């Protein structure tokens, strides 16, 4: 009886070992990137964190990677650490004139991949150069304008970084007060901006499909990744908690970049959302993940798109006719952003 029990235990152990080995073998990482030779990628915020790690992986796979960064000196320093073909160009997503300057300087070059990675998180109340709440203005409106201005040159896909924060506190798009002019809350403002990223991806994919474009729009989130993004939180208690979390709970930026790389290179349906496969989507390998009901609301996505066009002065660039961008926002546009 004892011998039979031992035999059974050994069989179970072998099965478990095989499952573990298979899971390790199946784990997707940057070594599985396809050959990207001859392809061009723009990565916003590529000077640090997940953006720099993703840019490095894409360059190592053969892509020419454009570091779209606010600080050219830091961007050049980051690009110098990358083993591959790189280029550094200035882009300040909190200033629509900078976004237009970046797009104007693109000069019709084919762009295979646009990764909308840059972002700010839970800042003290601030305004962009155009008068928008900083998190909504940078994380959503800046990327909305950039994407539409570059879209005529994009050949493959647009990947926009969101966050599990899009679920915080029953997050919604506050159309009545996008700028949090009353009762500013850095956490809720951040959640709104991340929800906007998912709604933008949803409506962008709808428009791409309707226009017959082969380009796909996808979204990704890194889980809980240790980057310098959390160090700017308005609340000092929150900064302390996130510092602790970064040290003991978070995964590193290499793991945090995997959902972005997976969304950027794997054959996935448009509007897919990629995140970690671990508990609570905090860490783990990249996989398709779900989103909140608010992030799946097609009607709100269309309304947000319309409002975003009005606020940025940048319109849909594909379809029956191309609508260009207007000049810098005047008082009327800035006031609308605060409603």
**What residues contact residue 301 under an 8 Å CB cut-off, 6+ apart?**
199, 200, 202, 203, 206
Contact 84, 59 (CB under 8 A): yes
Q: Is-catalytic flag, 190?
A: yes
Token pair belonging to 86: 């790189």
**What residues contact residue 60 under an 8 Å CB cut-off, 6+ apart?**
30, 33, 82, 83, 84
Dist. CA 87–CA 321, nearest whole Å? 31
Q: What is the DSSP string of 58-74?
A: HHHTT-EEEEEES-HHH
What is the DSSP secondary structure assignment for residue 178, as one 8-state letter? Answer: T
Residues 300-307: contacts with CB within 8 Å, 24+ apart? 300/173, 300/199, 301/199, 301/200, 301/202, 301/203, 301/206, 302/203, 302/206, 303/173, 303/175, 304/173, 304/196, 304/199, 304/200, 304/203, 305/200, 305/203, 305/207, 307/175, 307/178, 307/336
Tell the burial category of 130 from Cβ atoms under 10 Å away from its Cβ (0-12, 13-18, 19+).
buried
Token pair belonging to 209: 């499909």
Contact 114, 54 (CB under 8 A): no
Tell the burial category of 172 from Cβ atoms under 10 Å away from its Cβ (0-12, 13-18, 19+).
middle
Strands 86-90 and 273-276 turn out to be: unpaired
Q: Which one is catalytic: 153, 184, 190, 262?
A: 190
**What residues contact residue 265 under an 8 Å CB cut-off, 6+ apart?**
33, 34, 36
The residues annotated as belonging to the active site are 190
């Amino acid at each position: 009886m004892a011998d039979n029990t031992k035999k059974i235990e050994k069989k179970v152990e072998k099965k478990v070992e095989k499952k573990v080995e298979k899971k390790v073998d199946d784990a997707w990482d940057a070594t599985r990137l396809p050959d990207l030779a001859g392809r061009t990628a723009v990565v916003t915020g590529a000077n640090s964190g997940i953006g720099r790690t993703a840019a490095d992986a894409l360059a190592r796979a053969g892509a020419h990677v454009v570091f779209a960064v606010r600080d050219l000196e830091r961007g050049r320093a980051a690009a110098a650490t990358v083993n591959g073909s790189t280029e550094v160009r200035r882009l300040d997503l909190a200033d629509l004139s900078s976004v237009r300057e970046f797009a104007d300087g693109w000069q019709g070059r084919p762009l295979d991949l646009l990764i909308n990675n840059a972002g700010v998180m839970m800042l003290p109340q601030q305004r962009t150069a155009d008068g928008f709440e900083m998190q909504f203005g940078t994380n959503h409106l800046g990327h909305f304008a950039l994407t539409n201005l570059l879209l005529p040159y994009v050949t493959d896909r647009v990947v926009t970084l969101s966050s599990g924060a899009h679920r915080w506190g029953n997050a919604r798009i506050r159309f009545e007060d996008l700028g949090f002019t009353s009762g500013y809350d850095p956490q809720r403002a951040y959640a709104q901006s991340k929800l906007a990223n998912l709604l933008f991806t949803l409506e962008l994919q709808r428009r791409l499909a309707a226009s017959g474009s082969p380009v796909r729009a996808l979204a990704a989130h890194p889980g809980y990744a240790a980057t310098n993004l959390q160090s700017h939180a308005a609340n000092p208690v929150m900064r302390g908690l996130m510092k602790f979390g970064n040290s003991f709970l978070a995964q590193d930026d290499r793991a945090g970049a995997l959902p972005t790389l997976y969304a950027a290179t794997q054959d996935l349906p448009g509007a897919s959302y990629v995140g970690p496969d671990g508990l609570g989507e905090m860490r783990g390998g990249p996989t398709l993940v779900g989103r909140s009901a608010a992030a799946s609301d097609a009607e709100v996505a269309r309304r947000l798109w319309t409002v975003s066009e009005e606020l940025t002065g940048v319109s849909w660039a594909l379809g029956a006719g191309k609508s260009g961008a207007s000049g810098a926002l005047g008082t009327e546009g800035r006031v609308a952003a605060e409603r």
